Homo-oligomer: A and B are copies of this chain.
Amino acid sequence: MEFKQTLKQRANQVESLLKEYMPSEEGYQKTIMESMNYSLSAGGKRLRPILTMEACKVVGGNVEDVIPFAMAIEMIHTYSLIHDDLPALDNDDLRRGKKTNHIVYGEDMAILAGDALLNYAFEVMLSNSIDKENPNKYLKAMNEIAKTSGIYGMIGGQVVDIQSENKQISKEKLDYIHNNKTAAIIIGCMRAGAIIGDAKQEQLDKITKYAKNIGLSFQIVDDILDIVGDESKLGKKVGSDIENHKSTYPSLIGLDESKNIAYDLIQEAKDSINSINKETKFLSDLADYIIDREY
């Protein structure tokens, strides 16, 4: 319970920062800014920006330097949700209890708002990297984010997920989807944070392992919760994976084995991050939180 409050505080901090980085709603093209900001303001746990900033902090970096990158990550995450919700993809009218972007602004504007947020993420990172002391470091950090957001990361995972609908797939393919659709961008944002924080190679490796493990565990726990979760606590319907004949960790290797793997991944993540020998309590608690969510 206490950690949940810490997490909520961090999310609130991200909310305030986001407001500073959102484009002003003005000019002939005002509608697109409104549409972008509508989805950016729609809430969520803000895990990715929190992790970006914490990765920088944990290696002794200056968190101020990484804020534009944390904001950019949330913009990229938000664009992917807007496009995911479109009629041609998941066709969702609601997200977190609010109308989805295309329901409010129309499909045309929602497509452009997604494009605009992806583009704006790079505008924010770039304009805050020019003329800094170590420009190469910022290029490297941006490259981590770009790589893990694209066809060798998040988009790649989405594509394979879409093509696997209503099909039995191998565990190898399921791991590909989990690792790319969710874990990749967590790895990318934490590596970016650590690089900007001047992480040593060893620290960077440890953070990468942590990010990879919590990312995969997060998805496995999602699979598990779809079977054993409490709808009222989750705030969403359970059992939809079975209904949609979706291959999941429990369907491929059983519920108990899935729980064991999710647990082991979290243990390894904690060991990895704690071996950095800095103030890693927040990231360690966060790893526990991922597996303890609601079962």
Q: Which residues of A contact B (CB under 8 A)?
A: 23, 27-29, 31-33, 36, 79-80, 83, 86, 88-89, 106-109, 111-112, 114-116, 118-120, 122-123, 126-127, 129-131, 135-136, 138-140, 142-143, 146-147, 149-151, 155-160, 162-163, 173, 176, 180
CB distance from A98 to the nearest CB of B (A): 21
Contact in complex: A88, B116 (CB < 8 Å)? no
CA distance A129 to B141 in the complex (A): 12
CB distance from A79 to the nearest CB of B (A): 8
Residues on B with beta carbons closer than 8 Å to the beta carbon of A135: 135-136, 139
Q: CB < 8 Å: which of B80, B123, B143, B156 contacts A150?
A: B123
Contact in complex: B126, A107 (CB < 8 Å)? no
Contact in complex: B159, A112 (CB < 8 Å)? yes
Contact in complex: B138, A139 (CB < 8 Å)? yes
- Oligomer copy total: 2
Nearest neighbor of A28 in chain B, beta-carbon distance: B160
Taking A80-B115, A112-B159 as known contacts, 5 extra A-B pairs with beta carbons closer than 8 A to each other, sorted by chain A number, are A28-B176, A89-B111, A115-B155, A130-B139, A135-B135
Q: CB < 8 Å: which of B89, B122, B160 contacts A29?
A: B160
With contacts A28-B173, A139-B138 known, is A116 near B163, CB below 8 A? no
Contact in complex: A118, B120 (CB < 8 Å)? no
With contacts A139-B138, A139-B139 known, is A123 near B108, CB below 8 A? no
CB distance from A55 to the nearest CB of B (A): 19
Contact in complex: A32, B156 (CB < 8 Å)? yes
CA distance A119 to B158 in the complex (A): 14
With contacts A139-B129, A147-B123, A151-B32 known, is A115 near B118, CB below 8 A? yes
A-B contact pairs, 8 of them (CB 8 A): A83-B115, A109-B162, A115-B115, A115-B155, A116-B150, A118-B118, A119-B155, A126-B143
Nearest neighbor of A138 in chain B, beta-carbon distance: B139
Q: CB < 8 Å: which of B88, B118, B160, B176 contacts A119?
A: B118
Most buried by B among A119, A126, A139, A156: A119
Contact in complex: B111, A150 (CB < 8 Å)? no
CA distance A126 to B173 in the complex (A): 29
Residues on B with beta carbons closer than 8 Å to the beta carbon of A138: 139
Contact in complex: A33, B119 (CB < 8 Å)? no
CB distance from A140 to the nearest CB of B (A): 6
